[in-house]
Structure 1
Amino acid sequence: MGDFVDGERAIRSRWSPELLNPDRVSQLITDLIPNHEIRMNRRYGVHIIDGSDPSSDIGRFVEWTVFDEYFSNDLSVMEQEYGPYDKFSTFIMVLDYDKIEPVGVIRIISPSDNGLKSINDMTSPGSPWYCEGDTAEGRLAEVGVDANNTVDIATMAVMPEYRSNHAADGVSAALYSTCVRWSMQNNCNGWVATVDSKIYNMMQAWGEPFKDFDHADWAAYLDSLSSKPVHLELLTGLEKIKKLDVEMSRSGQLVDVHGLYTRGAGLEDKFVLPAFDV
């Protein structure tokens, strides 16, 4: 996989207690807090960090904390499952500037010679979703988007102390919105993911954007009792959400989920958001 460089030292992995300790994470967050002119007293900020940047360890810290809590995935499991994709990952992170704490993360894995984790897992013999003759190319073809424009939404995690209020605070909305806008900016119209049933049901409530892969049903996965791989053609999914907005407005429910996802509408007062050209 090659070495990461952290300061003057080369290290083989980002998944070490030395790097993923709370004091170091707090310092990394402090270094990312913008000046007063940009922040304008907003509590939260959304940051997009390349997986080779040392600041991406904030995202790994959140992944490890949450996955260890829910699925008992310790550092060795996290390194085994996600380490091969670290250099090809982009981390979308919500940070609490007031408390100097990480709040949540989405990991996006881009195409590389290592492939996409969700596709690799699905086409690996022994996988609960493996069918004889499965290939990565065949499964990617189901997405209906050029493989070079398809990414893996590999993780989504919110820290325990923010979980009860994350819907009201807009943390999940900020993560999803930035993920959509990053994808549009980078012409990544195809998404794949392996999602727990709770996340799946929550997302499908907004126009059923996800589609199932053929012969891939609910199964235990990485200690999740019920997960499955899904795919999404982003622009089509956004059109479904837009139609749902219109239907809800006709019933007197004024919502703009499409605007939230594509423009960050409604988030600007509470979050420092990344700038996008689209």
Structure 2
Amino acid sequence: MPARDTDTAIGAEVFSPRYDLSDSELEELTVRLLAERARELPEHYRLVAIEVDGRSPFSNVGRHVERVVFEATFGNDAAEMTDEYGAYEETSTFFISIDRETHTPSGVLRIIEDSQHGLKSLNDAAREPFNLELDEAFRFHAITDPTEIWDIGTVAVLPDYRRGEAAVSVQLYRAMYLSALVHSIKHIVSIVDDRPLRKMRDFLGIPFVPLADTPPGPYLGSKKSHAVYGYVPHFLPKARAHRDTMRGLLVRNALQRLVDGTEDDSISLDARPGA
């Protein structure tokens, strides 16, 4: 990725990744992040998505949301999150959704880039229950350059923002897709719980397939998770074709946002496609 201003210090603060912010710390960081990016975001949007480098203190807003959601859903507390993601913190980028009316975060999507530590989903897929060799995955999906892969490390949305066509997950997927175009990313990998994966594929038409035909299994507190793969150039045409299906018609407004980018100016990226 291009070099970025990571805002590694806020005042006298020394940054370290944290998953357990206090209410006051969460509020302060969220308000500061909004203030910094406000000029880029039209005032009429209540929910905005902001891309944040994983080395920035603002990224702890995203980590806090991850922990809150995963602890409630799968029992993953701050210590477990630190243990699981510690090797990947410096190569993480967070797309953070914020509710401007309440000045609180509403959701987050984390991507992990390749490094000396590899990609978390591929590393984890090499172990039980998936037992998938890295070389096999690369051959199966014709991957030749690991720098062209993004790992969706997490998608976490707070309960009040999960339902309806305005669900922030749509905004987060769109933000990730636009950023992937900027950085010439061709391949997406992830390990996803069964329930959100079904929603992503069946209703939004996001074309995830089993990673090298690997069957699902239990993973980090989830009883049934899937190791998945997506080819980025297929995302837009597949989702566009999905609009005309019965399930696509049920969420047509959400698909307009995802496919046509009808609310792209509610998203603040580090760089824009074509910029």
Q: What letter is aligned with 2:125?
A: M
What is the distance in 1 between the residues matched to 2:170 and 2:102?
Answer: 20
User: How large is the Cα RMSD of the aligned pairs?
Assistant: 2.8
The answer to whether the Cα contact below 8 Å between 1:111 and 1:151 also exists between their aligned partners in 2 is yes
What is the distance in 2 between the residues matched to 1:254 and 1:219?
Answer: 29
Match 1:119 to one of 89, 109, 122: 122
CA gap 1:177/1:160 in 2 versus in 1, 3 angstroms: same
What is the distance in 1 between the residues matched to 2:131 and 2:113?
Answer: 22
Q: What letter is aligned with 1:44?
A: L
Q: Which residue of 2 aligns with 1:43?
A: 46
Q: Which residue of 1 aligns with 2:192?
A: 195
1:176 equivalenced with 2:190 (yes/no): no
CA gap 1:139/1:25 in 2 versus in 1, 3 angstroms: same
How far residue 10 of structure 1 moved from its aligned partner, in angstroms, is 5.3
How far residue 208 of structure 1 moved from its aligned partner, in angstroms, is 6.0
How far residue 39 of structure 1 moved from its aligned partner, in angstroms, is 3.5
How far residue 104 of structure 1 moved from its aligned partner, in angstroms, is 0.2
Partner-residue secondary structure (3-state), 1:54? coil
Residues paired across the two proteins, number = 261
Percent sequence identity is 27
Q: TM-score, length-normalised on structure 1? A: 0.83
Partner-residue secondary structure (3-state), 1:79? helix
Q: Which residue of 1 aligns with 2:3?
A: none
Q: Which runs of 5+ in 2 are unaligned?
A: 1-6
How far residue 256 of structure 1 moved from its aligned partner, in angstroms, is 7.3
1:29 equivalenced with 2:30 (yes/no): yes
The answer to whether the Cα contact below 8 Å between 1:216 and 1:229 also exists between their aligned partners in 2 is yes
CA gap 1:15/1:54 in 2 versus in 1, 3 angstroms: same
- Structure number with bigger Rg: 1
Q: Which residue of 2 aligns with 1:240?
A: 238
What is the distance in 2 between the residues matched to 1:64 and 1:252?
Answer: 34
1:15-57, CA deviations, whole angstroms, 9 ceiling, x for partnerless residues?
364xx22211111111122447844242222100000000000
How far residue 243 of structure 1 moved from its aligned partner, in angstroms, is 2.3
1:53 equivalenced with 2:51 (yes/no): no
1:133-184, CA deviations, whole angstroms, 9 ceiling, x for partnerless residues?
x2x2332333333322011011000113333x4x333411111111111111
What is the distance in 2 between the residues matched to 1:178 and 1:85?
Answer: 21
Match 2:210 to one of 204, 208, 212: 212
The answer to whether the Cα contact below 8 Å between 2:91 and 2:114 also exists between their aligned partners in 1 is yes
Match 1:90 to one of 90, 93, 96: 93
Q: Which runs of 5+ in 1 are unaligned?
A: none
Q: Which residue of 2 aligns with 1:141?
A: 139
1:261 equivalenced with 2:258 (yes/no): yes
What is the distance in 2 between the residues matched to 1:60 and 1:84?
Answer: 14
Q: Which residue of 1 aligns with 2:69?
A: 66
Q: Which residue of 2 aligns with 1:152?
A: 151
Partner-residue secondary structure (3-state), 1:91? strand
Q: Which residue of 1 aligns with 2:160?
A: 161
What is the distance in 2 between the residues matched to 1:120 and 1:105?
Answer: 22
Q: What letter is aligned with 2:272?
A: F
Q: What letter is aligned with 1:276?
A: R
Q: What letter is aligned with 1:149?
A: E
Partner-residue secondary structure (3-state), 2:106? strand
Partner-residue secondary structure (3-state), 1:168? coil
